[in-house]
Amino acid sequence: MANSFTRMMSGRNTAVMLASMGAGTLASGYLLSDNAAAAEKRRLYPPSADFPDLRKHNNCMASALTPTIYGQLRDKTTPNNWTLDQCIQTGVDNPGHPFIKTVGMVAGDEESYEVFGEIFDPVIKDRHNGYDPRTMKHPTDLDASKITSGMFDERFVLSSRVRTGRSIRGLSLPPACSRSERREVERVVVTALSGLKGDLAGRYYSLGEMSDREQQQLIDEHFLFDKPVSPLLTAAGMARDWPDARGIWHNNEKNFLIWINEEDHTRVISMEKGGNMKRVFERFCRGLKQVENLILERGWEFMWNERLGYILTCPSNLGTGLRAGVHIRLPLLSRDHRFKKMLDNLRLQKRGTGGVDTAATGDTVDISNLDRLGKSEVELVQLVIDGVNYLIECKKDEHSVQTLMQYFQFIFLNFGKHLNSPLAVVYGLKCYTCWGDNPGSCNSVWDCPKSYDRCASTIVSQNMISKHCMRSDLCSNSYSVGVRCCAEDLCNGAKQTAVFVPLLLVPIAVSTLFT
């Protein structure tokens, strides 16, 4: 009974009753203060009794939360009465994710990141590649003219997309917002978007007014979000009152879209079919700047601070909130067990084309940037462009490698009988410890330039062979020469196959002389 009473009298409920009934005698005699209520709760149920069982969990929150931190934060609330337990509930209910390591917590309002900083800060540092929100400042750069090589080979890239999120300052975030706050977000944003002109002009479509057929068509075209069914989102309260005050705004060409009241107050998206990422990003920057100006003109502003950048619901989207991605065909490369490691080195991530909760199946995958915080928008988009172009070059080499392997098989079948011992060819991939710094440091350089040039010109052009990561080794008999490659990466590992075929001529020729 005492516990029910103190819980009822805590936080916002106490403030409302004091305001409506008069604070004089009530404050001094009949009502417990916030501090007294918290002390009573700690006496009856200490933090150790409330600490969640995270022994089988694999998310950033579970790694960072300790009994000490929980004890310090359990009884704190934000001005909107949001608690630590509400922040972490989605991570407690969902121990892990089949495809990614999740964050495991959400913010209910802008103040959550300050009030519960002792847990948010280490989670942010873990998720954002060591970014320390206590000491570092986040850069912002929306100058699309700085982008280079932003046109992909459209034989491989099917579509390009850039998105971010923005939150309206003064209103609770989706996990904590009331119906009235959610409707206010919709009103503020839709009113502002009516001011967009030119190629950005469009209209708003409320989910509540759409037919099921219209909704499904937009979902199938990757324009519209569906009702959240992922446990990560539903446990965080994202699906409450669905579809109240949710909708999509898009321009007439359907290449500039804004989702309202999904995971964040707004999601701003620029997208189109094909590989022109630079044009997609230019439209994104131009549209985002206009939207922010229209919001400011109406007396509102986006949540932002210099440590965390733009404030969004999930800590994974802090900073730029930006995800630049492509749908790309990589039939062989994407199925190689080393592909994930290669993406990690490029600071990229792979998803299914249906979103974060879908597996990558078939030949087409969604490739996007892994980081959001600590790098500017321009830096992240350029990183994706460079990384995707690199993957495309690897994909182009697959055909050459297959042709060379067929030639290798022909030589082996026709000339292998002349060898006095089994042909020894050692094929190795890169040593990942030296990736990106000095790829040749883990191997001695093949020191026969004339032979190298001759072999290179025999089958393939010079630019298909990485000269610095080759060396010759003597094999089990004195006249069979094998080649070991410490490839610069998975792609160059494939390229080295080009060297094997001409080099096989050496042991074959030597063997022929002795038979």
Measured between alpha carbons, how far is 262 from 270 in angstroms, rounded to an integer? 17
Measured between alpha carbons, how far is 60 from 123 in angstroms, rounded to an integer? 6
Residue 399 among known ligand-binding residues: no
Residue 325 among known ligand-binding residues: yes
Supply the Cα-derived Rg of the chain in whole angstroms.
Answer: 29
Residue 365 among known ligand-binding residues: no
Residue 307 among known ligand-binding residues: no
61 conformational bin, left if phi > 0, alpha if psi -120 to 50, beta if neither: alpha
Before 243, cis peptide (omega within 30)? yes
Residue 335 among known ligand-binding residues: no
252 exposed, middle or buried (CB, 10 Å; 0-12, 13-18, 19+)? exposed
Residue 356 among known ligand-binding residues: yes
Q: How far apart are the first and last CA of the chain?
A: 99
Measured between alpha carbons, how far is 114 from 207 in angstroms, rounded to an integer? 34
Measured between alpha carbons, how far is 456 from 449 in angstroms, rounded to an integer? 10
What residues form DSSP beta bridges with 259?
248, 267
Residue 179 among known ligand-binding residues: no
Residue 323 among known ligand-binding residues: yes
Measured between alpha carbons, how far is 406 from 411 in angstroms, rounded to an integer? 9
Residue 108 among known ligand-binding residues: no
Measured between alpha carbons, how far is 373 from 140 in angstroms, rounded to an integer? 10
The answer to whether the beta carbons of residues 210 and 265 sit under 8 Å apart is: no
Residue 353 among known ligand-binding residues: yes
- The rounded Cα 10 to chain-centroid distance in angstroms is 39
Residue 135 among known ligand-binding residues: no
Residue 162 among known ligand-binding residues: yes
Residue 299 among known ligand-binding residues: no
Residue 355 among known ligand-binding residues: yes
Residue 436 among known ligand-binding residues: no
Known binding positions: 159-163, 222, 267, 323-327, 351-356
Known binding positions for ATP: 159-163, 222, 267, 323-327, 351-356
